[in-house]
Structure 1
Amino acid sequence: MPENLVNQIAAGEVVERPASVVKELVENALDAGATEISVEIEGAGHHRIKVTDNGCGIPAEDVPTVLERHATSKLKSTEELEHIATLGFRGEALPSIASVSRFELETKSKSERIGTHLIAEAGKILKIEPAGTADGTKVTVERLFFNTPARKKFQKSAASENRQMTALLEQYAFAFPEIGFELTLDGKRLLKTPGQNLFERVSDLVGEERYWDLELLESKKGNSQLVAFLKKPEKITAARPQFYFFINRRPVQSKLLHHAVLSAYRDFLEPGKSPYALIYLFLPYPEVDVNVHPAKAEIRFADERAIYDWVYHAIRKALSSRGQVPVWAGSVPQIQQPNLGSPPVPAGGIGSLNPITPDLTYQQKVFSFPHSSLMGSPLTPAGGLENAHPQPNFSPLFWQFADIYILAQVKWKLLLIDQHTAHERVLYEKILTNLGEHKAESQELLFPETVELTPTEFQTFVQNQSFFESFGFDLSPFGDRTLLLRGTPPLAQKKNPSKLLREILDDLENDKKDLEPSKRVARSLACHSAVRAGEKLTIAEMENLFDLLFAAENPYNCPHGRPTIIELPLAEIHRRFGRPV
């Protein structure tokens, strides 16, 4: 096969999409010892990707070989494959990228007075010349996949590619807190972090408010170390798990670790909730095989059972013994311990969060009967039991079970209504009706709030900003990744405005793209504005919800497809008790 065809086929393994280019170039910068890395993206990466670092640079005599396949200074013998300490090691990235783009390299090593400038197209070097440039390396990739139309045809939307590249840089920012990262997307700066310690970096990326929702886990086993930030179960609202795994600071995907974390959380979460975790594992290099796939995203452990058990039991122990901020007791290369302080205590004290009435029996706590008249008169009617004949009562009676379900007697049926999904259905239809009639209103906040977002969340907001405004959110950018929130939809006035906004953004990011954006925003807004499981309702509130639900277009399912009502006909109840029907 011609050399250019070989290069294009090989590039298909390494360069699947623009995010693959960003990954390889950022890893090269990290391996070069850079302390500052800047990434600039234009046109979802197809028009231009530029990565600039202040690393060691490439000596002028080595520049002509950078586009030769397997030309690398990171490995010199087969023995070194068992002790891979760098992120890259095959020498495939630059040749693969250059073979499907217009490629430009500017580099200068610290020992040289002048740098080198290289230009290539479709893998062929067009020019190499001396050039004045700063220490380090700048790589510019333009017209990605211009000569492979089949690959370009199957690329995802610009929004999807931008999200992928933003999320990718977040991963490296989590993994290398001592490195300063900057991301600019179509001229808009989404991320700029200075060199920090691990605690400061996690707080910066997730936001200070949500940082206090995390538990710190630190565990040692021989020469290995586990560090994890685990979201407290009671703070979890997402329906999909979100995990970041770093093995010797390499961002990876691992089904084994994914399953271990999910299993460890299982007994601590409500149904439908999924964990969030940052997992850092530091292992001796011979115990990890990173030479599994060209993208180096998959790994193998020498003793998978031992790693699984360690992670599983360490997380379960951490979740079981919560109650105070853990104290950092270990040491991680280039990671320092800041003053953690104490998490804020909610107003009213801990006791006000879960009041308990000591005089109530267990049954009275679980079965909540708001009004004694609902229980009716004594069971024995006038004339005695033998003369009693049940009479249909066509007026619904309401009571609350476990502060989650509404029980109602309607004719000869007992209805069990999930108060959250029922209210969600009502709000969803109301939101869409108001949207269609252009009746969306905004309730002005007494004090505007600033909401700091992660780079991925900010990107999701930018893509859906018009929908947020059409639903009644009054907000605008207020800095790199901060929004100024002035007003919210009236139906959300009882909710924490900034928390509501983040929850909706989280849903939009992780939810299946099964609806048009306006309906996805409406569904998320309804879900997070609806009455929650565990909230007590008055008789009037239950009756009002009942009426609104059965006036809805589809009263039997919430917008996510979950049931709102379960019916138990009297005949079915008779059958369960073995009575003749």
Structure 2
Amino acid sequence: MADRIQLLPEHVANQIAAGEVVQRPASVVKELMENAIDAGADQIQLVVRDGGKALVQVVDNGAGMSPADARLSIQRHATSKIREAEDLFRIHTKGFRGEALASIAAIARLELQTRPGEADLGTHLKVSGGKELSVEETVAPKGTSISVKNLFFNIPARRNFLKSPRVEFRHVLDEFQRIALAHPEVGFSLHHDEAELYQLPASNLRKRIGHLFGNRMQDRLVPVEEDTQVVRVSGFVCKPEFARKSRGEQFFFVNSRFVKSSYLHHAVLNAFEGLLRPETVPGYFLFLEVPPESIDINIHPTKTEIKFEDEKTVYAILRSAIKHSLGQFSIRPVLDFDSDPNLQTPYSFRERDAVTPGVTVDRDFNPFAEPGSPSGRTGPVGKPVARGWEVLYEGLQEGGPAAREGLEWTVESDARDGTLFPGEALQDLGGIASFQIDRKYILTPVKSGLLLIDQHRAHQRVLYEQFLKSLSSGQPVSQALLFPLRLEFGPGEMQVLEGLREPMAAMGFRFGKQEGKSLEVVGLPAMIPESEAESVVDGLIAGWQRQEGEIGFSTADRMAKMLSRALAIPPGKVLDAPSRQALIHDLFACTETRRSPFDKIIHTSLTVEELEKKLH
């Protein structure tokens, strides 16, 4: 029998290892920028072309490398921070050269130019597909410049799986924002296709958030601070009224390293319980500092997932810290049994000076004197003033002015209609009666028994088919706004909107000027009220991000689904009888009535036979 097991060639092993670390251009950005930070740089420049597929270049002014270090950095298993196995569990840095460079060099054309501060000349190294092409001395500024060109040029199958430049750049932008937030003390700049998108000066965290997401974001932040023996929590959460449907501004950092954690995200949502609108999530920028030996950051090649030694305690501390901050800044209502509400000063009176009340006494007033007499009290113009309690009955005497004007006294009492469902009037429209159950379902009789309809899913189906019809006709109905709306979004959301402009225009959206992070809306589809414009656009962005990886659906279909999700009647909304009846008629006029656009069952029936079985 022939032998089947063999050692892989070196270049194949390098490409396999690269596939675990480098998934797309954003992975290259993450590794190179983290290396620059660990090199002690205080100014880092990122240059990207064609979404990162053509070029990713990172230039820093940190500690450069010697010629020997430069050549070793592109070798497999070369590292600057691990000397023994125990070092894996007490990692303080992100990785200074090496490790990732070997993986990147194996699947791209890499140029490295570096010079340490004490050297007169630097080193210029060229590598292609893991093979060293040349190394020579050169004149270079202090620091390191690494250019990665033509990613996956030697693995066509992997390159074909890359998305469009716009999508890839959105992932690059996400990585840039994460690293810039984690290190506000470092200055960053970002250039994409010759255009400068960011020039971030070194600052504090609050200002860095404003530079990245707009200055208005600073007014929405609530500081969070808690220091315990287990974990130190710091950062900011956004006020509940600014919660969004899209999940673009949720950041966790553990020991200054960005991580993804659904467990910690649940702790944040738990702290905001009762303060958020349905289907919205709050923004947060939270930093956790724990002993390095109490976490494991090597459970994923990209180190974006983490495992805590005592995760339940971290969960409880994080939730309590956020609740305390929301209560401290009067965002979450709190109960203070030690304070007397009668002694609290209203906000409108806190800046006013105290006024000494004045007392006047009419010593000649005789309560028993007739009105108008010399001893009776009169008003400013000599009109008699009503005496004490008599003012309550003034004008109500028989034949008085109020009686002559037809004043009537009525006594109200609770009305009883004797219906089985209080508050539900049984109205028969076209021979069909309907009821609303739990503000979620519509119950209506049919020939075979009873029909139970989910009002939210039914309205989704109706809107979905209406939007599809509007798109297929090519003549969307748009309503012009008297005053244009100016909406603000983050850079990542603006990138999504750039890709959605054409299909949104086909739906009836009309856009005006775009300045930085703000966009002007001058027209809306006829079915969208102006008051819900920002919520609908936010829902479109969130829906597009959720469906980004889906295939097999046209852009029109995805747009119709997202709009139907954003505009459908929410569960819990009270519908009157005409509205219920109109929804039933619209649903059964659709081509598909059984399932919603998201493949959920819309209605179910209960036959007479089933009712009889339940009653026996």
Q: Under TM normalisation by the shorter chain, which class is it?
A: 0.7 to 0.9
Work out which of the residue numbers 550, 554, 558 in structure 2 matches 1:513: 550
Contact persistence 2:497–2:541 (CA under 8 A): yes
Aligned match of 1:556: 594
Please say if 1:495 is aligned against 2:531. Answer: yes
Please say if 1:103 is aligned against 2:110. Answer: yes
Aligned match of 1:354: none
Contact persistence 2:35–2:96 (CA under 8 A): no
Instruction: Describe how 1:413-562 pairs up with structure 2 within 5 A.
Output: 413-475=449-511, 478-511=514-547, 513=550, 515-562=553-600
Contact persistence 1:180–1:195 (CA under 8 A): yes
CA distance in 2, matches of 1:55, 1:190: 23
Contact persistence 2:323–2:332 (CA under 8 A): no
Instruction: Describe how 1:143-162 pairs up with structure 2 within 5 A.
Output: 143-156=150-163, 158=165, 160-162=167-169
Please say if 1:369 is aligned against 2:406. Answer: no
Letter in 1 for 2:562: S
Aligned match of 1:324: 331
CA distance in 1, matches of 2:563, 2:217: 20
Contact persistence 2:113–2:140 (CA under 8 A): yes
- CA change 1:199–1:418 in 2 (3 A) is farther
CA distance in 2, matches of 1:568, 1:103: 68
CA distance in 1, matches of 2:492, 2:112: 29
Aligned match of 1:164: 171
Instruction: Describe how 1:255-294 pairs up with structure 2 within 5 A.
Output: 256-257=263-264, 277-294=284-301
Aligned match of 2:234: 227
Contact persistence 1:368–1:400 (CA under 8 A): no
How much has 1:322 moved relative to structure 2?
A: 8.4
- CA change 1:275–1:319 in 2 (3 A) is same
Letter in 1 for 2:130: G
CA distance in 2, matches of 1:215, 1:459: 27
CA distance in 2, matches of 1:526, 1:416: 21
Aligned match of 2:182: 175
- CA change 1:241–1:485 in 2 (3 A) is closer
- CA change 1:85–1:322 in 2 (3 A) is same
Does the residue aligned with 2:515 lie in a helix, a strand or coil?
coil
Letter in 1 for 2:423: F
Contact persistence 2:73–2:97 (CA under 8 A): no
Contact persistence 1:368–1:402 (CA under 8 A): no
Please say if 1:22 is aligned against 2:22. Answer: no
How much has 1:505 moved relative to structure 2?
A: 0.5
- CA change 1:568–1:194 in 2 (3 A) is farther
Deviations 1:506-539 (CA, angstroms, capped at 9, x unpaired): 1110236263222111111122223334444444
- CA change 1:239–1:64 in 2 (3 A) is closer
How much has 1:123 moved relative to structure 2?
A: 2.8
Letter in 1 for 2:49: E
CA distance in 1, matches of 2:450, 2:281: 32
Does the residue aligned with 2:598 lie in a helix, a strand or coil?
coil
Contact persistence 1:457–1:509 (CA under 8 A): no
CA distance in 1, matches of 2:218, 2:483: 23
Deviations 1:337-369 (CA, angstroms, capped at 9, x unpaired): xxxxx9xxxxxxxxxxxxxxxx999x99xx783
- CA change 1:12–1:400 in 2 (3 A) is closer
CA distance in 1, matches of 2:43, 2:37: 9
Aligned match of 2:208: 201
How much has 1:73 moved relative to structure 2?
A: 4.0
CA distance in 2, matches of 1:413, 1:206: 56
- CA change 1:262–1:532 in 2 (3 A) is closer
Q: Which moved more, 1:294-303 or 1:259-268?
A: 259-268
Q: Which moved more, 1:299-308 or 1:263-272?
A: 263-272
How much has 1:433 moved relative to structure 2?
A: 0.6
Work out which of the residue numbers 141, 149, 154 in structure 2 matches 1:142: 149
Work out which of the residue numbers 117, 123, 127 in structure 1 matches 2:124: 117
- CA change 1:90–1:6 in 2 (3 A) is farther
CA distance in 2, matches of 1:201, 1:241: 16
Does the residue aligned with 2:74 lie in a helix, a strand or coil?
coil
**Which sections of structure 1, spanning at least 5 residues, go unmatched?**
327-341, 343-358, 377-391
Larger C-alpha radius of gyration, 1 or 2? Answer: 2
- CA change 1:485–1:187 in 2 (3 A) is farther
- What is the aligned-residue RMSD (CA, Å)? 4.0
Contact persistence 1:170–1:455 (CA under 8 A): no
Deviations 1:133-154 (CA, angstroms, capped at 9, x unpaired): 4443221111222223454355
Deviations 1:111-150 (CA, angstroms, capped at 9, x unpaired): 4555443222223333334444444322111122222345
- CA change 1:291–1:36 in 2 (3 A) is same
Instruction: Describe how 1:313-392 pairs up with structure 2 within 5 A.
Output: 314=321, 323-324=330-331, 369=423, 374-375=425-426
Please say if 1:302 is aligned against 2:309. Answer: yes
Contact persistence 1:191–1:481 (CA under 8 A): no
How much has 1:23 moved relative to structure 2?
A: 1.3
Deviations 1:165-202 (CA, angstroms, capped at 9, x unpaired): 23222322332233344444444555554434323334
Letter in 2 for 1:35: D
Contact persistence 1:450–1:483 (CA under 8 A): yes
Contact persistence 2:235–2:286 (CA under 8 A): yes
Deviations 1:447-490 (CA, angstroms, capped at 9, x unpaired): 22332322322222222221111111112562344322222112
**Which sections of structure 2, spanning at least 5 residues, go unmatched?**
1-7, 334-346, 348-412
Aligned match of 2:50: 43
Q: Which moved more, 1:108-117 or 1:450-459?
A: 108-117
Deviations 1:321-347 (CA, angstroms, capped at 9, x unpaired): 984289xxxxxxxxxxxxxxx9xxxxx
Does the residue aligned with 2:531 lie in a helix, a strand or coil?
coil
- CA change 1:286–1:55 in 2 (3 A) is same
